[in-house]
Amino acid sequence: MQIDIATYDPRIPLADPYPTYHALRAQAPVHWAAPAGVWVVSSHRLMREIMSDDETYGQAYVRREVSRHGEAVHDQPYFQMFRRMFFMMDGEDHRRLRPLFARWFMGPTRTRELTPMVERMVGQVLDELSDRESFDVIQDYAHQVPLRVISEILGVPQADSRHIAHDIEDIAPVVESVPKDAEVKRRADRAIVQLQDYFRGLVESRRRNMGDDLLSAMIQAGDAGGFADEEELLANVLLMYFAGHETTTAALGLAVLALHRNPDQLALLKRSPEIMPTAVDELMRYDGTAQGFSRSSDCDVVVGGHTIPAGAFILLLIGAGNRDPDVFADPDRLDLMRAPRDTLSFGGGAHVCIGNMLARQELRIGLAALLERRPDLRLDTVDPPISDFKPSLTRALTTLKARG
């Protein structure tokens, strides 16, 4: 396959992006994508180099919003919140805030401690579906599990999760690299104010009744001087929903789809559930949700022989890196016995995903329980049309109907 590099826009999702990625990597592993105004990198080796070099490359979000919308963007509630999330920061502020959360999520005993709760949440959702012959794997299952898990972790009452998820959905488009219109931004700003009010109230009541949840831990961290002010605390608590919910929902949905597209591998997993931990890594390599993220540099850089000017945006197409034949033999084959090494699914370097252990655990428990409790599950289609995917670089199905 050949693609027309001059018109290729990496932000436009495809039902099956992988043939395009292969063509791109072969034709131009580093190229200027004029329609998107970004440099696109599709080679695994070059992406690894960039994401490991935090001195040279930084997060692009703040720079991108200011370059698109001008300094006036600083007055918008959505921007005021996102720029205070450590995900969007570099340097000293990132080094100050990330450990507060990383210590909690990446502690050596955390996975073991969380297992009973994750199993309970998965069990609850499956119980609620037990008398339904047909259901939507995305809306009724994959969406529900991570939402309940992150709410439990933070100590947010489950009854409030639904409106939180609704507000988050209104806000999510503003972090996308695709340009957004005024209405999208207005809706996001409204939802942000609602969420901030809700969490401000929750922080106040939690202060009177502290628990062993993540929110209590962050309030204590704040009292010890970890956060500059309450707005920073709130932004980073909300980050847990932004970073941890939609991604895990999407990954669970894509994993179910990949297994049903590869019935031999589905049968293998049912026969040998002990391979689940590495099967999850392979499923995420094969068809992952984070297809790309951006970086930029304050100085000119040379990547794969191309000089990229200071301040330009660089899109690391990690969905392409995970299918790079230089790293993964027969990359287009889903092989649950592969135990893939050096996948890019959770990024790398200073910003490597702090929730990767939790996400893997949710996928392992969520898939195992689904296979066990719905052994005859069949999808209505294993070839969803492009209209069933979100218009986003976060690859995600909006619906996946199943019965059985």
Give the footprint of ligand HEM on this chain (CB under 6 A): 86-87, 98, 150, 239-240, 243-244, 247-248, 251, 288-290, 293, 345-347, 351, 353-355, 358-359
| Closer residue to ligand HEM (CB): 187 or 361 | 361
Cβ partners under 8 Å of residue 80, min gap 6? 74, 231
Nearest distance from residue 251's CB to ligand HEM, in Å?
Answer: 4
Instruction: List the beta bridge partners of residue 153.
Output: none
Nearest distance from residue 283's CB to ligand HEM, in Å?
Answer: 10
Query: In the numeric block, which tokens belong to residue 163?
Result: 């409106």
Q: Residue 30 in 3-state DSSP? A: strand
| Closer residue to ligand HEM (CB): 39 or 87 | 87
Nearest distance from residue 325's CB to ligand HEM, in Å?
Answer: 21
Q: How far is it, in rounded angstroms, from Cα 317 to Cα 281?
A: 18
| Closer residue to ligand HEM (CB): 141 or 187 | 141
Nearest distance from residue 238's CB to ligand HEM, in Å?
Answer: 11
Q: How far is it, in rounded angstroms, from Cα 52 to Cα 68?
A: 27
Nearest distance from residue 376's CB to ligand HEM, in Å?
Answer: 26
| Closer residue to ligand HEM (CB): 289 or 392 | 289
| Closer residue to ligand HEM (CB): 288 or 384 | 288
Q: How far is it, in rounded angstroms, from Cα 403 to Cα 133?
A: 6
Rounded to a whole number of angstroms, the distance between the first and last alpha carbons of the chain is: 38
How far is C-alpha 379 from the chain's CA centre?
24
Answer whether 44's CB lies under 8 Å from 24's CB: no
Q: How far is it, in rounded angstroms, from Cα 6 to Cα 32?
A: 8
| Closer residue to ligand HEM (CB): 175 or 187 | 175
DSSP symbol at 55: T
Nearest distance from residue 355's CB to ligand HEM, in Å?
Answer: 2
| Closer residue to ligand HEM (CB): 40 or 187 | 40
Answer whether 251's CB lies under 8 Å from 284's CB: yes
Closest CA to 244 of 390, 118, 66, 95: 118
Q: How far is it, in rounded angstroms, from Cα 334 to Cα 383?
A: 16
DSSP symbol at 351: G
DSSP of 7-25: T--TTS--SS-HHHHHHHH
Closest CA to 239 of 220, 214, 222, 274: 214
Nearest distance from residue 127's CB to ligand HEM, in Å?
Answer: 23
Query: In the numeric block, which tokens belong to residue 54?
Result: 């935090």
C-alpha to C-alpha distances, 190 to 175, 179, 353, nearest whole angstrom? 15, 19, 28
Nearest distance from residue 194's CB to ligand HEM, in Å?
Answer: 21
Residue 312 corresponds to which amino acid?
A
| Closer residue to ligand HEM (CB): 187 or 363 | 363
| Closer residue to ligand HEM (CB): 187 or 315 | 315
Cβ partners under 8 Å of residue 198, min gap 6? 160, 163, 164
| Closer residue to ligand HEM (CB): 187 or 308 | 308
Residue in the shown chain whose Cβ atom is closest to ligand HEM: 355
Nearest distance from residue 116's CB to ligand HEM, in Å?
Answer: 18
Nearest distance from residue 53's CB to ligand HEM, in Å?
Answer: 12
